Structure formats: C-alpha cells, structure tokens
Chain A
Amino acid sequence: MTDNQSTTAEHPLRAHAPAVSAARARRWGAFFYAEQVLRVMRNYGWSVVLYSVGQPVAYLFAMGVGLASLVDANSESAFGGVSYLEFVAPALLVSAAVMTASGEFSYPIMDGFKWRRVFYGPHASPLIPQQIASGHIMASTVRFLLQSVVYFAVVAMFGASPSPWGWVSAIVATVAALSFGLPLMAYAASITQDKGQFALVQRFIVMPLFLFSGTFFPLDSLPMAVRWIGWISPVWHGTELSRVFTYGMDQDPLLTITHVVFLVATATVGWVLVRRQFVKRMGS
C-alpha cells in the first residue's frame, strides 16, 4: 500500500493501511457495529437497569404474591402441582424479554433507515449492511441476556425457581426474544413510511401473545378457537420450555424438542430475512 507510509516526527500518529481496515472489517465488522450500539445503550444504562429489576419485582409481587394468594387457595392442582408463583414466574421472564425485543427491533430500525439514518454512517465505512444488521442483533442479544439474568435472579429470590437448572430459562428467554424479534426487525426494515405500524404491532400482536400464550393460565384452559395463538407464539414456546428448567414441568420430550426447534427456526428465518432486507434497502 502506498498510503500512510510516511511518518514524521511531529506527526507520529498513523492509521493502518486501507487494506488492513478492509480485512478487519470483513472479519469483525458485526462486532464493531455491536460495540457502537452498546455504547449508545450505555447512555441510558440506568433506565435499562431499573427496568430490568423494577419490572420483575413489580410483576412477581403483584401476580406471584397478590394474585397467587387467591389462586393457590382455590386450585392447587390446576398448575401441575406447583404454586401459582412458580407457574407464572418463567412466563413473566420470557414475556419481558419478548417485550424488550419488540422495542429494540422496531423503532430503532426505523431510526436507522429513516429518522436519523444512523445505519448510513457506518455504511460509508468498510462495514456492509449485513454486518450492521448483525451488530444491532448482537448488541440487542446482550441486552436481552443481561435483562433475563437479572430477571431470573429476582425470580430465584422470590423462591420461584426450585430446580438447579432454572438459570437456563434466562437463555431460553433470550432465544424467545430473538424468535419474535428478528421477524419483526425484518418487517421494520421493510417499512419506508411510518404510519403507526409499530403501535399496531404492540396492540394486536405483542399484547395478544402476552395474554394468550399460557402465561397466566395453562393454554389447555383456552377454547380451541384461540389456542392456536399459543402454538404460533414464541412466548408460549419459550414459557413452556422455561417451566421445564425452573420447576421441572412434566413434558413429553418430543414437545420439548418442538419448542426448541420452533424458537431456533423462527429466529433463523428472521435473521435471513433481516439480512436480505438490509441489503435490499442499502445495497451491498
């Protein structure tokens, strides 16, 4: 490379050659962009922490202590022999991660392409659109995992995770967040005009998934007409899987595998669609 070879005494700072930049970006580009997203998140770190701790405390107290005192007094066997708190805690953990994903993978994507166009800055550097997408996903995954670990710690403090394998539910919640979030991100990347689509997603997709995914009562207790919502819901698959880990819920191994396959498959399909949409939107 002919560039950047001259070094003078008064100007000893030299960047490495463009070929080195390109090679590093090709290999590590997604991590470089993830670093940017994490730096931005750090700016509102306190609200992330307060949300991560405050939400489980409030929900677990209301549901697991308040509501549970009524539920447990009336129907001991309805929840597979565990207390209502134990039943509802893994569901709340998974739901919280999915809700965070619905935030991270909607408005920030619109922001990147349209409002403040933050994706276009790195695209003028050696990064490619797929890396920008992957970087955003990686940083968001870190957030989901941290939030879920904190959530699980609170669950454990409430005594709602009797199994020693309970901590796996934090990972399950993270995967469930990606299972729901990545297809949403692909959709968000395809929107060119904001007509309130994300508010509709919140009201007509996120909320029904939260309510009808076996969160507060077993899915079997719903009529068949709405039970399908659970079957296609990452919240239900994630919740059922988490229950296996937090209190050893009795489950057909085939069903357990189905939950894993569903979550991983939807996340993978979403990821492929996201990459495709980013390339379509930004070029190569």
Chain B
Amino acid sequence: MNRPTVISARNLTKAYGDLTAVDNISFDVPAGESFGLLGPNGAGKSTTMKMIGGVSQRTSGSLTIMGLDPESHGPEVRAHLGVVPQQDNLDEELRVRENLIVYGRYFGLPLSYLRPKADELLEFAQLTDKANSKVDALSGGMKRRLTIARSLINEPRILLLDEPTTGLDPQARHILWDRLFRLKESGVTLILTTHYMDEAEQLCDRLIVVDKGRIMAEGSPATLIREHSSREVLELRFGSERNATIGVELQGIGERLETLPDRVLIYAHDGEAALEQVTARGLRPMTSLVRRSSLEDVFLRLTGRSLVD
C-alpha cells in the first residue's frame, strides 16, 4: 500500500499584490490516487493547478512533482503531466486528429507513434467519426473530450483536470466521468478541481475542501460527510417569505438547522422522523425532501456558504 508520493506541497502560497489566492496549503498525493480540490469559484483551485503545472510561480512554500520543482524544471515536470485547462485551447484551425498529432509533437514524439496513438485516443474519446472534422464544428462536450484525449497523447501518469465538466449538459458530463473513471482504473493519478460536489463524490478518492485559498477540511468524500454532516438531510420549502422566519418554530428538530433563502435544511440521522416532528408541530411545508448528506452540506457547514452561488 506504500505508494510513492507524486505531488507534494508544503506551505504553498501564491499572492497577487494584496490578494492571497493560495494561502499556505500543504498536501501530498500518492501515485494512482484520484485527488480533488473542491471549492467555489475564486477559492484558489486553478491557481494551485497552474503552480503544479509549472506555469505559475509560487510566492512561497515548496512544491515538487515526481520529486522535481516545477519552477526550475518546468519542461521536465510538464513532460510527466497531461493537462486539461479550464478553458479549452484547442487549435480551431486544425482538424480533430491533427490537434492530437501536433500536440504530441511538442513532446518530441515521432509520427510513427503519434498516428496510431491519435486514432486510439479518438476511439477512447468517442470521436473517431469526427477525426477529420474542424474543431469548431464540435459540440462543447466533444471539445472537452478532445481536450482530454489531447492531454493523454504523451501517456502521462498524472492528469490535471481543471473544472473538467463545467458548462456541459448532464449527458455529456456522464460520458466524461465514465472516461475519467477508466483512466483512474488504469492507474493514472488524477488531480481535479471542481465546484460540483457530485463530481467530487463520483471521481475523488480523497479531496481537500478549499475556500479563500485555505484548506478547510481533508479526507475521502465519505469521511468528510461523516465528520461534518449528519446522515440525512430534510429539505423544506415554506415559500421565500416564510423560510427566513420559520426557523424559530423548527428549533429542536434534528441535530442542526440551516436556513437558506429558498429552503430550510434540517440535518438529522433520520430524515423521515424529522419530517414527522415537523408535521406534528402543525407546520405544513410546500415541499419536503429527504436525502443523504452530500459534500455540498459539508461545504455549507464549513464555510456557511453554498458551493454554487
């Protein structure tokens, strides 16, 4: 079980003038792990990814990837990585297959390897029939899959994914998750940032919850939920007028109560039992829903805010 550490950050800090985007964070990622950075927009996730990818200089602290400092060994570090940036930056003027080949050339890979490899990756990304299409003819989900295929051209053992499914429809997201899951199964270390809790739950073995550049909590999704939330959550809607004032009448039900503008959340071990207590008090919510606790609840508990504003 003693897997080697592939990424190690100690007191990593990045400041832009007065703004500290990443504030003294430390973490280790062992080989083959799927490691997530979960947090809202502006939490410092992408900045951390850029430092790992050796394209942004840190202000202080230390960082090594495969034992190398990305600042002094940028090309050597990047040769180990596959990078899927937040914004697709495909060559729109080249065709789909050509995008993969050109990218592989940056790694000095010979065409005798790249031609069959490009076909293999197009198959993996379910884009074989689009091989000779122009990139701008692809849908958002297809472009994302092509960006992922491109990041795999050098067979990296570490894949950085910055918000891999933002802006995609649910079906496209599920296709992407499936592909990423296969990579994880093949032993590739995945580092991903996301502000989608379901994505983090689906893909991450372990994650750090970040807010305002700081680590708020660390652990597997199940551990984080167990430690920072109840087993179930009862969601009640009383209408936007009453949600704010109903809290007093709900006191004492469940372990904790959270009032949001559009709904009231009651954290309880048994959601159905909590709902019975609510109705027993003569309160009639417009809608009610019992669900399992999620990372969204963890984040709310830790920061007092929602992940997606």
Contacts and interface: CB of A to CB of B under 8 A. Distances in A.
Question: Do A and B share a complex?
Answer: yes
Interface centre among B71, B106, B117, B150 (most CB of A within 10 A): B106
Interface residues of A, number: 39
Nearest to B102: A36
A16 B109 contact: yes
Given A32-B105, A36-B102, A126 B91 contact: no
A29 B108 CA distance: 8
A124 B83 CA distance: 6
Interface string B112-137: 01001100100000000000000000
Interface string A1-35: 00110000000011110111111111011001101
Interface centre among A23, A43, A117, A126 (most CB of B within 10 A): A126
B154 A18 contact: yes
A121 B105 CA distance: 12
B138 interface: no
Contact of B113 (A3, A13, A120, A283): A13
A29 B106 contact: yes
B43 interface: no
Given A40-B93, A121-B91, A126-B107, A13 B117 contact: yes
A128 B116 CA distance: 27
Given A20-B108, A282-B55, A283-B57, A121 B103 contact: yes
A19 B73 CA distance: 11
Interface centre among B66, B85, B155 (most CB of A within 10 A): B155
B92 interface: yes
Interface centre among B79, B85, B116 (most CB of A within 10 A): B79
Interface in B78-107: 78-81, 83, 85, 87, 89-94, 98, 102-103, 105-107
B85 A124 contact: yes
Given A25-B75, A126-B79, A128-B74, A15 B91 contact: no
A39 interface: yes
A35 B106 CA distance: 10
Interface of A: 3-4, 13-16, 18-26, 28-29, 32-33, 35-36, 39-40, 43, 116-118, 120-128, 282-284
17 contacts: A4-B155, A15-B109, A16-B113, A18-B156, A19-B76, A21-B79, A21-B109, A25-B75, A120-B85, A120-B89, A121-B91, A122-B103, A124-B55, A124-B81, A126-B79, A282-B55, A283-B56
The 6 closest A-B pairs by CB, nearest first: A24-B108, A125-B106, A124-B83, A18-B79, A126-B75, A21-B79
